Amino acid sequence: MAEFKEQLSQLRLFIETCKKDVNVLHLPELKFFKEYLESLGASVPSKSTQQGPKTTSNAQKENSNFGSTVLDDEIDDGSANESEVESDIELDNEGVISPDPEEPHEMGGDPEAEVSEEDQDKADEKRSEAQTAIGDGDYEKAVQLFTEAIVLNPGAAALFAKRASCFLKINKPNACIRDCNKAIELNPDNAQAYKYRGRAHRLLGHWEEAAKDLATACRLDYDDQANEWLKEVQPNAKKLVEHERKYARLREEKDLKDRLARAQKLREEREAAAKEFEDTRSPFADGAAPGGGGGGMPNISSLLSDPDILQALQDPEVAAEIGRAHV
């Protein structure tokens, strides 16, 4: 097994040499090997007119300059860690309140069910009473009356939007959001539902969601109050958007730095392997390296006579890798 691993190591070094000098595959004594690769579907590049393989220093100049420039000039500028990124944003959280408990409340029955004329009339009566309670400033009572109306007519989006406005008045933004979600589900063009949901998000400190909903409300049916609320949340929302863009840019730069570092490491490993091949005489070496000199490259005919090596070369991926050798 140890001998086989050594032989595979020699084969790997041979492949690295092919990558550095395509002319190796065009040596007369390797004609049989080139034909074998082509029989497996590999494409062997034409013979190059360049004299000899590239030196390690030339390869580094061509392959490393771009990566080092990016790393030195750009990536270091975005090396802040996540805690630093998170701490560089200051929001005005005045007016933000603690969220109300996520307790379910009455949402009515099947909104698709047919509502009788009698139930419709009763629901209208409850709605009228709720409006009176709102005028009196009794929002808890208004919530109760709107709930009774919703039970009678569960398909009315306006009832959910009205009850949502009452939940806002008693500082229950989560309950308001649930009612607005239902109203929008029943009627996607209900501007009041977007308006109250946007305000509820503002009370919870959900600045981006608030800005989006309030802008939608103004687009569907312009409202001075909705526009004032929108202007109130826009500064924080813009800060968050800019912060997210900055964070995304830093993450992209970090990922790029990591990729370039991995690529640099791979180049160094390949160059080290090529140098090892150039500096180490193979136990099989009795031939001459391309361009003169002895012992620089193993005697491939001897190397490939080993049945284990030949079996490894039956792998199409190995053959294709050798066939892709380039300058």
Specify whether the CB–CB gap between 254 and 78 falls below 8 A. yes
- Contact yes or no for 36/11 (Cβ under 8 A): no
Model confidence band, residue 41 (pLDDT cutoffs 50, 70, 90): confident
- Encoded tokens for 216: 């939608």
What is the predicted pLDDT for the residue at 267?
Answer: 81
Of 46-60, 155-169, 205-219, the poorest mean pLDDT is in 46-60
The partner residues of 288 in beta bridges, in order of sequence, read 294
Q: 11: closest CA among 279, 284, 303?
A: 303
Which range, of 150-154, 202-206, 217-221, 300-304, averages the lowest pLDDT? 300-304
Which residue did the predictor score with more confidence, 245 or 323? 245
What does the pLDDT read at residue 297? 52
Answer whether 45's CB lies under 8 Å from 325's CB: yes
Contact yes or no for 38/241 (Cβ under 8 A):
no
Per-residue confidence (pLDDT) for residue 248, from 0 to 100: 84
Taking 90 as the threshold, does the pLDDT of residue 124 lie above it?
yes
* pLDDT at residue 59, as a whole number: 34
Query: pTM of whole model > 0.75?
Result: no
Cα dist. 32→83, 90, 191, 233, 287 in Å? 61, 71, 79, 75, 16
Q: Which of 163, 226, 145 has its CA nearest to residue 191?
A: 226
Q: Which has the higher per-residue pLDDT, 313 or 78?
A: 313
Q: Supply φ then ψ for residue 40, to 5 degrees.
A: -90, 0
Question: Is 146 a residue whose pLDDT tops 90?
Answer: yes
- From the list 186, 151, 308, 182, the residue with the least C-alpha distance to 196 is 182
Chain segment 101-122, per-residue pLDDT in tens: 888 889 999 999 999 999 999 9
How much is the pLDDT for 27? 78
Alpha carbon distance 267, 110 (integer Å): 66
- Quote the pLDDT of residue 312: 61
Q: How confident is the model at residue 40 (pLDDT cuts 50, 70, 90)?
A: confident
Whether 305 has a pLDDT exceeding 70, the answer reads: no
Per-residue pLDDT at 131 exceeds 50: yes
Residue 158's closest CA among 120, 122, 184? 184
Distance CA 13, CA 246 (A): 45
Number of H helices, E strands in the chain: 14, 0
Q: Give pLDDT tens digits for 275-287.
A: 777 766 444 444 4
pLDDT higher than threshold 50 for residue 222: yes
Identify which has the larger pLDDT, 190 or 75.
Answer: 190
The pLDDT, as a whole number, for residue 289 is 47
Whether the pLDDT of residue 233 is over 50: the answer is: yes
Q: Which of 67-76, 90-99, 114-123 has the highest mean pLDDT?
A: 114-123
Token pair of 299, please?
Answer: 């005697």
C-alpha–C-alpha distance, residues 162 and 170, integer Å:
13
